[in-house]
Amino acid sequence: MGTIHRMNKFAALLLAGCVACGAALAQDAPQMNLPRVKLSAGMHQIDAQVAATPEQRSTGLMFRKDMPQHEGMLFVFEQPSVQCFWMKNTLLPLTAAFVADDGTIVNLADMKPQTTDSHCSAKPVRYVLEMNQGWFAKKNIKAGFRLAGPPFQGK
């Protein structure tokens, strides 16, 4: 009886270790199955994944090796606040657009991959749109430009 009990205890510990290991491995993988929203920046269309939960926002675009030029990630927060982002475990150079409730870009920040430098909104916002670095500049989109799409309608 003692050997079986010890074996069951060992199996339980081993299983718990595998579950923890699997969770750690899952955190090292990019999140790919998020909801999407269509946004527009003038005549330019954006297919944005939506990170709306704390877990989705904390993972963001980490571990992605590439992202199509017309795609991005829209971070949605419950209420306006000064939002700060960093790039730890993020492999792609990105530009963050800090966006007001009505879709107006408050400020833009170019962010270098795999750094812990903090990039913050100039004022409280609920939305942050991350795109490949250079996307906004190539399209001459700057602070004050207004994005359109479902999150910004009626605001």
Look up the pTM and report it: 0.81
17-54 confidence digits (pLDDT tens):
433 334 444 456 677 789 999 999 999 999 999 999 99
Q: How distant, in Å, are the alpha carbons of 41, 95, 116 from that of 101?
A: 15, 19, 27
Return the CATH architecture of domain 36-152. Sandwich (2.60)
Of 19 and 128, more confident? 128
Q: Is the dihedral of CA 3, 8, 12, 14 positive or negative?
A: positive
66-81 confidence digits (pLDDT tens):
999 999 999 999 999 9
Flag the least confident range among 18-32, 53-67, 78-92, 106-120.
18-32
What are the residues facing 107 on neighbouring strands?
A: 98
* Domain locations in the chain as residue ranges: 1-30, 36-152
**Ordered DSSP codes for 7-61:** HHHHHHHHHHHHHHHHHHHHHTS------EEEEEETTEEEEEEEE-SHHHHHHTT
> What residue type is 50 in one-letter code?
V
Flag the least confident range among 28-32, 51-55, 106-110, 127-131.
28-32
